[in-house]
Amino acid sequence: MTFAILLPAAGASIRMGGGRDKLMEDIGGVPLLLRQTKRALATGANVLVTTRADRPARINALEGTGAHLVMVDNPSEGIAASLRAGIAALPNGTCAVMILLPDLPDIDSPDMQAMLDARAHAPGRILRAVAEDGTPGHPTLFPAHFFPQLAQVTGDAGASLLIREAGYHPIPLQGARAITDLDTPEAWDTWRALHK
């Protein structure tokens, strides 16, 4: 079976302010986007990363990694534009796709592999990572029969409506890693203080 991991990375990082790009923030000498892409590649899945033409640093950071870059023509629409572009670019025969938001720095390769492995226990279901306390988070894995619906999502809510309508099987991840996203300078400062 062929799995894919899709990193929607065509956002504008508008909440960072000052022209900073959250996906290019440095973690141990590596941009966040490259770090999370390499973690996805380590699972052996096909990895697709959506991006935008006006963020050349993101494109350059992923050059030579083996990830498939997918340009998004209308990134201002929000994450739905990335999802539609990513679904359209999936290799033939893909049986499931994991949507991995690249601004969750604590998600690592074993977390992703646990999500892929969990398909055996809930075939046909959407799988969604949750924090230890049950708070829903990311990543989320969609079997192939949801691809047509993912290909039609609109706006900045992404696949949230689809998830609400179809329900999901929760996959607990350690601590708060499934819900720790870094959208603002303050969030980055807090996270870095905890990871010195």
Q: CA dist 163 to 19, 34, 64, 106, 167, Å?
A: 33, 28, 34, 23, 5
The proportion of the chain whose per-residue pLDDT surpasses 90, expressed as a percent, equals 64
CA distance 95 to 17: 39
Parallel/antiparallel/unpaired status of strands 127-130 and 68-71: unpaired
State yes or no: pLDDT of 1 exceeds 90: no
Backbone angles phi, psi at 143, to 5 degrees: -65, 160
- Tell me what the pLDDT averaged over the chain comes to: 90
State yes or no: pLDDT of 54 exceeds 80: yes
> Tokens 């290909």 belong to which residue?
151
Q: Which of 73-77, 89-93, 113-117, 155-159 has the lowest mean pLDDT?
A: 155-159
Mean pLDDT for the stretch of residues 125-130: 96
State yes or no: pLDDT of 108 exceeds 80: yes
Mean pLDDT for the stretch of residues 178-190: 85
Contact 13/22 with Cβ under 8 angstroms? yes
Who contacts 191 (Cβ-Cβ below 8 Å, separation ≥6)?
105, 180, 182
What is the per-residue pLDDT for 68?
Answer: 95
pLDDT tens sequence across 8-29:
998 765 666 666 788 888 888 9
Polymer length in residues for the chain: 196
What is the per-residue pLDDT for 13?
Answer: 58
CA distance 115 to 59: 27
The residues facing 30 across adjacent strands are: 27
Domains of the chain: 2-194 (3.90.550.10)
